[in-house]
């Protein structure tokens, strides 16, 4: 099998082709790892093979590009038929590169710096609408460091959480919200104070499995936190609403609705944070989406658009990263 990723330094030059790296998730039929150009242009990696698979399919995992290499951590392993405590990289998918402090599924993570991934919460069954028992959800967190290839405990969450959102919106502060347990509440972690604080008014509805990230207005250069779609926990449906968190005002306000209801989709930022993407998910219970939507703002006007590129295999609970094409080279 081809091993496709040799990672060069993360440098985004003007005109770079950005590629979605899509790993794992739940899909029907043939699937696997996909590399997809987000601008719709032609790009066929690795001698014409469009799918380069990990040795396992991980559902509900989390990950990022850490120390110039993509890693995927935790999730439900189809091979082991269990929630796992390992991190893998497509650099060498035959063996784990890090062992986590705890097995986790549906955790949320952010990249703290170029070498450190912060993984939080998770560890629950696959039931779609069921309110999970507290004992199945964890409040623990951990730091995964590369190239040290180590994991060590981090600060606990203010309460156990799964299918939640964790968003870094400044160098010193991180936003925690959403999920079955945290619901409409919003917490901020301040690294200088090393503490969580409950902030601002609540979100409009209790939702889990939202797509979330940050978005900068290309003209105004102001930044908001984005939360869109998700499972309506109380109403037991799927949402298409979007909310923006304004850090200066510490409030949530309505944003533009998604073009369709979506939950369990992946939220991905562009490197300059001036586009936010929603990849895959399901638009009704059991119906999977292969779409990629983009949200951009200019002078306060925010609009969704449907990208020409699509997933080869419609899927939910996937782990998705956006990387420049020039850092990907093929080798056998």
Mean pLDDT of 31-46: 61
Phi, psi at 127, each rounded to 5°: -55, 140
Q: Which residue has the higher pLDDT, 57 or 141?
A: 141
**Sequence-ordered list of residues with C-beta below 8 angstroms from that of 42, at least 6 positions apart, any chain:** none
pLDDT score at 43: 39
Instruction: Return the SS3 of 126.
Output: coil
> And the tokens for 227?
């939360």
Q: Which residue has the higher pLDDT, 244 or 30?
A: 244
Mean pLDDT of 168-191: 92
Query: How far apart are the C-alpha atoms of 218 and 236, rounded to whole Å?
Result: 36
Mean pLDDT of 28-35: 75
Query: How far apart are the C-alpha atoms of 23 and 57, rounded to whole Å?
Result: 8
Considering only CA atoms, which of 265, 281, 261, 255 is closest in space to residue 211? 265
Structure confidence at residue 328 as a pLDDT band (50, 70, 90): low
Q: Which residue has the higher pLDDT, 83 or 50?
A: 83
Residue whose tokens read 């999730």: 75
10 pLDDT above the threshold of 80: no
> And the tokens for 219?
């003209």
pLDDT score at 324: 66
Q: All domains of the chain, ordered by start, with CATH? A: 18-327 (2.120.10.80)
Beta strand 76-77 with 98-99: parallel, antiparallel or unpaired? unpaired
pLDDT score at 4: 33
Q: What are 198-230's pLDDT values in tens digits? A: 988 899 999 999 999 999 999 989 999 999 999
pLDDT score at 1: 27
pLDDT score at 110: 96
The dihedral built from the CA positions of residue 79, 84, 85 and 86, taken in this order, carries a sign that is: positive
Query: How far apart are the C-alpha atoms of 278 and 164, rounded to whole Å?
Result: 16
- As to burial, measured by CB atoms within 10 angstroms (0-12 exposed, 13-18 middle, 19+ buried), residue 80 is exposed
pLDDT score at 180: 87
Query: How far apart are the C-alpha atoms of 187 and 179, rounded to whole Å?
Result: 12
Residue whose tokens read 């990696």: 45
147 pLDDT above the threshold of 90: no
Q: What are 12-22's pLDDT values in tens digits? A: 444 567 788 89
Query: How far apart are the C-alpha atoms of 137 and 108, rounded to whole Å?
Result: 13
Q: What are 98-123's pLDDT values in tens digits? A: 999 999 999 999 999 989 999 999 98
72 in Cβ contact with 63 (< 8 Å): yes
195 pLDDT above the threshold of 60: yes
Q: What are 228-285's pLDDT values in tens digits? A: 999 998 888 999 999 999 988 899 999 999 999 999 999 999 888 999 999 999 998 7
pLDDT score at 100: 96
Query: How far apart are the C-alpha atoms of 304 and 285, rounded to whole Å?
Result: 23
Phi, psi at 105, each rounded to 5°: -130, 150
**Mean pLDDT (the chain, rounded):** 84
Q: What angle do CA 262, 266, 270 make, to 5 degrees?
A: 120
């Amino acid at each position: 099998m081809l091993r496709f990723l040799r990672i060069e330094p993360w440098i985004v030059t003007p005109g770079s082709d950005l590629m979605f790296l899509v790993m794992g998730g739940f899909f029907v039929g043939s699937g696997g790892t996909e590399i997809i150009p987000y601008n719709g242009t032609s790009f066929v990696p690795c001698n014409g093979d469009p799918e380069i698979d990990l040795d396992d399919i991980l559902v509900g995992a989390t990950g990022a590009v850490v120390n110039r290499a993509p890693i995927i951590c935790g999730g439900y392993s189809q091979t082991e038929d269990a929630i796992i405590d390992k991190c893998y990289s497509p650099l060498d998918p035959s063996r784990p590169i890090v062992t986590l402090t705890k097995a986790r599924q549906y955790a949320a993570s952010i990249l703290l710096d170029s070498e450190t991934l912060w993984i939080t919460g998770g560890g629950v069954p696959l039931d779609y609408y069921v309110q999970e028992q507290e004992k199945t959800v964890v409040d623990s967190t951990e730091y995964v460091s590369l190239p040290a290839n180590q994991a060590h405990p981090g600060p606990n969450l203010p309460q156990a959480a799964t299918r939640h959102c964790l968003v870094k919106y400044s160098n010193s502060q991180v936003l925690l919200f959403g999920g079955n347990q945290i619901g409409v509440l919003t917490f901020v972690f301040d690294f200088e104070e090393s503490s969580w604080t409950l902030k601002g008014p609540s979100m409009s509805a209790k939702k889990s499995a939202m797509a979330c990230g940050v978005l900068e207005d290309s003209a105004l250069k102001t930044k908001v936190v984005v939360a869109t779609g998700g499972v309506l926990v109380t109403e037991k449906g799927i949402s298409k609403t979007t909310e923006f968190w304004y850090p200066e005002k510490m409030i949530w306000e309505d944003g533009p609705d998604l073009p369709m209801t979506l939950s369990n989709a992946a939220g991905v930022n562009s490197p300059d944070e001036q586009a936010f993407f929603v990849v895959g998910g399901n638009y009704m219970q059991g119906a999977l989406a292969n779409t990629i939507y983009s949200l951009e703002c200019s002078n306060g006007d925010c609009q969704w658009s449907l990208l020409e590129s699509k997933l080869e295999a419609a899927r939910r609970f996937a782990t998705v990263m956006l990387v420049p094409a020039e850092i990907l080279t093929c080798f056998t």
